[in-house]
Structure 1
Amino acid sequence: MKTSANIETLSFPVLGMTCAACAGSVESMIGAQPGVDKAEVNYATQSVKVVYHPDQVQPPTLQQAVQSIGYDLILDTTTGKEKQEEVQRTNYTALKKRMIAAAILTIPVVIIGMFFMNIPFANYYMLCLSTPVVFWFGKNFFINAFKQARHGRANMDTLVALSTGIAFLFSLFNTFYPEFWHRRGLHPHVYFEAAAVVIVFIMLGKLLEERAKSNTSSAIKKLVGLQPKSVMMITDSGEKEIPVSDVQIGDRLLVRSGEKIPVDGEIYDGSSFVDESMITGEPVAASKSKGDKVFAGTINQKGSFRFTAEKVGGETMLGQIIKMVQDAQGSKAPVQKLVDKIAGIFVPVVIGIALFTLATWVMVGSENAFTQGLLAMVTVLVIACPCALGLATPTAIMVGIGKGAESGILIKDAEALELGYKVNAVVLDKTGTLTQGKPEVTDLIWQEGLKIDKKTLSGILLALEQQSEHPLAAAITAHLKANDVQPIRVEQFESLTGKGVYGRSNGQTYWAGSYKILKEEQISISKELQIKVAALQEQAKTVIYFAEQSGVLAIAAIADQIKESSAKAVQELKSRGIAVYMLTGDTAQTAAAVAAQAGITDYQADVLPADKAEFVKLLQSQGKVVAMVGDGINDSHALAQADVSIAMGKGSDIAIDVAKITLVSSDLMQIPKALRLSKLTVRTIRQNLFWAFIYNLIGIPIAAGILYPFNGFLLNPMIAGAAMALSSVSVVSNSLRLKFSQLTLNN
């Protein structure tokens, strides 16, 4: 094959995959095409990433190759995900209708088969009711089994098709030719109810899986929605509204109060405060003036400004975040469903045992050897029916998700529930995760010996801060109002950009703001207050000064308070041997203060969104299973990259959408509970699989007739069907025990 330096990498949504084996088929088929260097199928996101040489192979060729094995690719990379979501929603609705219809037909079959099998024409009633269940509503099992067989593979569908198909055909023969068995002194049992019940139970498991797929994350869609559709461009002839997609580098743009910033650029006129929490995660809006950079998707709060576009489209900071989230969601290895992997071995083994059983009876049996061998073979296939195996995982997952919901832990991806117990490293965002996520006044300290009473001064301070545009003013206003302070009229109010505010009351001038005001107005501050200011700043608190010309009257300390449960949660995680890290876009001083309060020794400050994801990758490269806990848009890339992603219920919609687990109360003490729930659920799944296989390990040899040479016992297929049903009941019952488990914090 000729080589080419021209290489492209594209991701395509895949349609029609129902299991990990399907993913393997798609991956191997695309990877085998000339001109394809690498193909990686992500079963979790139902997509394939292809590295190929465009001068040797084109996407339509890849699509044709995939279609030849029963699947499909969506080549439209712009709206492909939306089309895939639409198909998945349609599939889920159709499967739900089929399952309900199948269940309605199956219930009377079970009632007749279990209690009224001796009524006239009972077998014919069951035949009429079960035929559409097996061959119409359950036809996908047979179609998928055939697809797998064409490529030498086997999965759950193969097991379902084999067992239900054999049971149905055997029952059909017994219904129309009962004398075949009567002549041999045997009763012709039928298993229509077993075939129908298996189809319905396995369809239920498929429905749970399809529901997870149909709720595909819309995080990318929401991130794209952060960008405004149009923008005001400044031209020589005036202002003109244009679509954002038409903005070019160098264009001059206007952003008014309350609008989203459309592209990245630099301010050349005006000033404002901009909410940049999507980048930094910090709750306090950043002051912006001439020469400062602004970023797409951030929100202009108060004031307007003009800026020059420097990065547009996918090159903006928001565009990069979108790309990083897409890459992280698509970079995980395909989900290898445990049951499908087991089925890949189990199916050929069962088929081999069934055929070996028939051959052995024919070779060593005496009279009626073929009849008894055929009966034994059918019994093996019936008793090996995968009903319990198919229910082992979905029932435990379903109960585990319900148990989590009761405890305020919303789990929207079974993979997170299955993986949580392995977590040995937890990465915590600071703002909104460890802390409350909003600035609050922690201290209001007054100068001793004031001539004017504090109530009057508090009213003047409230009046000043109520009119201020600075984000921190809202914290002081809320604090004073909470203490029943009433505003006192202030005249000649003026905002001093980057410094604070001032106004006059009763002939006296008052200031509120940063230390710059004290310096400019040469206002003194007592040594007592200076000592307290230094102590507050050591705790990474922001200090606001309230003063008159004679000196500072009071200082207000503002900080994003750490949650009451944060330190306890960190200690609990550490006691379980889990390493805890903190990442924040805030300053080193603030990071150190919060880390100390939370009991965290490993932390990083001044971290950008991409840096958070890189840190998660670094831990993963060291062999750690990483849980990322965050609440903001700036955490979305790291959440998508992590093995287990956890969002705060009070966080941004995008963080919640990307994360696989959401803590409704935003209480970090829920994290140890979520990991405990994972451990209990996985233990239940293993118990279910154990009992399903023990049942087969004991039942299959007995069904094959291993006891016949010793005591003449040959298992009746009817008893085998009852044993199969009992195994399913035991699996469901064991899963329901999970509901009564305690998510206590001990191991």
Structure 2
Amino acid sequence: MLVIKAQAVGIESVLSKIISLVEQAQTQKAPIQKLVDQVSAIFVPAVILIAVCTGLANWFYLDSASIAILRAVSVLVIACPCALGLATPAAIMAGTGVAARFGILIKDAQVLELAHRLKIVAFDKTGTLTIGKPRLLHFAPLNFVQYDANQILATAAGLQLGSEHPLAKALLETAHQQSIAPIAVANSRALPGIGIEGVPSNGSFAGKTIRLESLASLKGSLHHQAISDLSKEYFDQGLTVSVLTMDSEAPQNLVVPLAIFAFGDELKPNAKEAISSLHQMGIRTVMISGDNLAAAKRVGAAIGMDEVFAQVMPGDKSEIIRTLQQPNVATKEYVAMVGDGINDAPALAMADVGMAMSTGTDVAMQAAGITLMRGDPTLVADAI
């Protein structure tokens, strides 16, 4: 039996959304069109008045109605005041229509005017330059803790239940492949820029606060140096490292590391080509990532990125965009942001031109003026 599940129907379908976005863009006014409307309000009546005066003067002096009409119409045709009001809307309709055929949906007509001024394009890494489906490549329980490896993995998987983060999906997939059931976790909450924490309901860590967090947040914890040494190999490979920790009962309120998880993601096949195309247009490229510096720099070097910002907290991406836009008081740079996640939305809104991957979240697409339908980074240069 064949079972077909409709993810969306009617106006919620992808096709309906594409049609709606194109129609919305075609009915919007670009800033230049508002200026044209102001000029037309004066120019059109003035041309009509001149044409009427020309016709009356010729009729009066030459006493010929046909010549008077001919010359009055000539003034209207040569001045062509209607072109002012028609050219810009026609260009917007043609531009958005052609872009849609190439998989570029333009929601905000203003970006058509701003795109050619862009000097910098900033990229999110995960899901934008990489495939966005990382895998758990290394799981290493630490030898100075005496806990069962399966219990550790089950607890880490329990923390990630319900999470949409790519690393969470990778960890849950590994647990599923090894037939390890996630342990139920209570009071689970996300720690922005750090990780996630909760209290397991059963198992070896029942009643204790467990965290899956970045290595950068562990400075000052027990065995921090030992973990750093163990993680160096993973960092050198450009992997993303997370550490499972447990609150210590020591009076110093330190945490006890339990295991290291190293995740890897593949670059999109055309990521390097996309960056090269932007360089040929004279545009500087920047990558913004929450990963450790070594991993981020490795990815940036592989695709020819001009500058890399690493270990960036989710709320700080928009501040980086603001800094790129105004490096000093006297300078204004036009900056585009390309992203796909919820935490990219503020940066997409802050940028002069925001571009969201259709493979990402709805929040990102709502914040961006352009949606790239194929999740293909080479479409960025095409859009510009």
Q: 2:286 aligns to what SS in structure 1?
A: strand
5+ long unaligned stretches in structure 1: 1-206, 214-332, 447-459, 501-513, 546-553, 676-747
Structure 2 residue 112 is the aligned partner of structure 1 residue 417: yes
Deviation at 1:672, TM superposition (A): 1.0
* Change in 2 beyond 3 A, CA 1:413/1:593: same
* Change in 2 beyond 3 A, CA 1:406/1:466: farther
| Alpha-carbon distance in 2 for matches of 1:489, 1:372 | 91
Q: Tell whether the 8 Å contact from 2:127 to 2:360 is kept in structure 1 after alignment.
A: yes
| Alpha-carbon distance in 2 for matches of 1:611, 1:497 | 32
Q: Which amino acid aligns with 1:434?
A: L
Q: Which amino acid aligns with 1:535?
A: E
| Alpha-carbon distance in 1 for matches of 2:80, 2:211 | 76
Which digits, 9 at most, give the CA deviation of each residue in 1:535-564, with x for residues without a partner? 21232531679xxxxxxxx97521454433
Q: Tell whether the 8 Å contact from 1:440 to 1:476 is kept in structure 2 after alignment.
A: yes
Alignment match of 1:361 (pick from 26, 34, 58): 58
* Change in 2 beyond 3 A, CA 1:418/1:404: same
| Alpha-carbon distance in 1 for matches of 2:72, 2:140 | 87
Alignment match of 1:403 (pick from 86, 94, 98): 98
Q: 2:383 aligns to what SS in structure 1?
A: helix
Structure 2 residue 264 is the aligned partner of structure 1 residue 575: no
Question: What residue in structure 1 maps to residue 308 of structure 2?
Answer: 603
Within 5 Å, give how 1:41-440 maps onto structure 2.
211-212=27-28, 336-337=33-34, 339-340=36-37, 343=40, 346-347=43-44, 350-351=47-48, 353-362=50-59, 364-365=61-62, 368-369=63-64, 372-374=67-69, 376-377=71-72, 380-381=75-76, 389-437=84-132, 439-440=134-135
| Alpha-carbon distance in 1 for matches of 2:287, 2:119 | 15
Which digits, 9 at most, give the CA deviation of each residue in 1:663-713, with x for residues without a partner? 1222211101112xxxxxxxxxxxxxxxxxxxxxxxxxxxxxxxxxxxxxx
Q: Tell whether the 8 Å contact from 1:536 to 1:543 is kept in structure 2 after alignment.
A: no
Q: Which amino acid aligns with 2:48?
A: I
Q: 1:493 aligns to what SS in structure 2?
A: coil
Alignment match of 1:662 (pick from 361, 367, 371): 371
* Change in 2 beyond 3 A, CA 1:381/1:345: same
| Alpha-carbon distance in 2 for matches of 1:626, 1:419 | 10
Q: 1:645 aligns to what SS in structure 2?
A: strand
Q: 2:360 aligns to what SS in structure 1?
A: coil
Q: Which amino acid aligns with 2:88?
A: T
Question: What residue in structure 1 maps to residue 255 of structure 2?
Answer: none
Alignment match of 1:637 (pick from 332, 338, 346): 346
Deviation at 1:580, TM superposition (A): 0.8
Deviation at 1:428, TM superposition (A): 1.8
Question: What residue in structure 1 maps to residue 153 of structure 2?
Answer: 465
| Alpha-carbon distance in 2 for matches of 1:536, 1:602 | 22
| Alpha-carbon distance in 2 for matches of 1:394, 1:671 | 24
Question: What residue in structure 2 maps to residue 680 of structure 1?
Answer: none
| Alpha-carbon distance in 2 for matches of 1:356, 1:489 | 86
| Alpha-carbon distance in 1 for matches of 2:322, 2:301 | 24
Structure 2 residue 351 is the aligned partner of structure 1 residue 653: no
Question: What residue in structure 2 maps to residue 614 of structure 1?
Answer: 322
| Alpha-carbon distance in 1 for matches of 2:290, 2:24 | 39
Q: Tell whether the 8 Å contact from 1:569 to 1:668 is kept in structure 2 after alignment.
A: yes
* Change in 2 beyond 3 A, CA 1:644/1:384: same
Q: Tell whether the 8 Å contact from 2:324 to 2:333 is kept in structure 1 after alignment.
A: no
| Alpha-carbon distance in 2 for matches of 1:619, 1:348 | 45
Question: What residue in structure 2 maps to residue 536 of structure 1?
Answer: 234
* Change in 2 beyond 3 A, CA 1:585/1:537: closer
Deviation at 1:598, TM superposition (A): 3.3
Q: 2:123 aligns to what SS in structure 1?
A: strand
Q: Tell whether the 8 Å contact from 2:348 to 2:354 is kept in structure 1 after alignment.
A: yes
* Change in 2 beyond 3 A, CA 1:499/1:375: closer
> Considering only CA atoms, is the larger Rg found in Structure 1 or Structure 2?
1
Q: Which amino acid aligns with 2:360?
A: G
Q: Which amino acid aligns with 1:415?
A: Q
Q: Tell whether the 8 Å contact from 2:129 to 2:268 is kept in structure 1 after alignment.
A: yes
Which digits, 9 at most, give the CA deviation of each residue in 1:188-212, with x for residues without a partner? xxxxxxxxxxxxxxxxxxx977844
Q: Tell whether the 8 Å contact from 2:96 to 2:106 is kept in structure 1 after alignment.
A: yes
| Alpha-carbon distance in 1 for matches of 2:274, 2:95 | 22
Aligned residues: 303
Q: Tell whether the 8 Å contact from 1:435 to 1:560 is kept in structure 2 after alignment.
A: yes
| Alpha-carbon distance in 2 for matches of 1:349, 1:390 | 15
Q: 2:37 aligns to what SS in structure 1?
A: helix
Q: Tell whether the 8 Å contact from 2:135 to 2:170 is kept in structure 1 after alignment.
A: yes
Deviation at 1:661, TM superposition (A): 0.2
Q: 2:337 aligns to what SS in structure 1?
A: strand
Q: 2:326 aligns to what SS in structure 1?
A: helix
Question: What residue in structure 2 maps to residue 566 of structure 1?
Answer: 271
Q: 2:203 aligns to what SS in structure 1?
A: strand
Deviation at 1:398, TM superposition (A): 1.9
Q: Which amino acid aligns with 2:135?
A: E
Q: Tell whether the 8 Å contact from 1:408 to 1:663 is kept in structure 2 after alignment.
A: yes
| Alpha-carbon distance in 2 for matches of 1:531, 1:464 | 21
- C-alpha RMSD of matched pairs (Å): 4.4
Q: 1:535 aligns to what SS in structure 2?
A: helix
* Change in 2 beyond 3 A, CA 1:417/1:651: same
Q: Tell whether the 8 Å contact from 1:339 to 1:389 is kept in structure 2 after alignment.
A: yes
Q: Which amino acid aligns with 1:592?
A: K
| Alpha-carbon distance in 2 for matches of 1:542, 1:374 | 81
Question: What residue in structure 1 maps to residue 299 of structure 2?
Answer: 594
* Change in 2 beyond 3 A, CA 1:535/1:388: same
Structure 2 residue 203 is the aligned partner of structure 1 residue 493: yes
Q: Which amino acid aligns with 2:320?
A: K
| Alpha-carbon distance in 2 for matches of 1:533, 1:668 | 31
Q: Tell whether the 8 Å contact from 1:411 to 1:660 is kept in structure 2 after alignment.
A: yes
* Change in 2 beyond 3 A, CA 1:401/1:489: closer
TM-score by length of 2: 0.62
* Change in 2 beyond 3 A, CA 1:470/1:565: farther
Q: Tell whether the 8 Å contact from 2:136 to 2:174 is kept in structure 1 after alignment.
A: yes
| Alpha-carbon distance in 2 for matches of 1:358, 1:336 | 31
| Alpha-carbon distance in 1 for matches of 2:174, 2:233 | 21
| Alpha-carbon distance in 1 for matches of 2:24, 2:104 | 19
| Alpha-carbon distance in 1 for matches of 2:48, 2:104 | 43
| Alpha-carbon distance in 2 for matches of 1:536, 1:489 | 25
5+ long unaligned stretches in structure 2: 1-22, 142-147, 161-166, 184-201, 213-217, 245-258
| Alpha-carbon distance in 1 for matches of 2:362, 2:368 | 10
| Alpha-carbon distance in 2 for matches of 1:488, 1:517 | 29
* Change in 2 beyond 3 A, CA 1:619/1:478: same
| Alpha-carbon distance in 2 for matches of 1:358, 1:470 | 83
| Alpha-carbon distance in 1 for matches of 2:53, 2:367 | 51
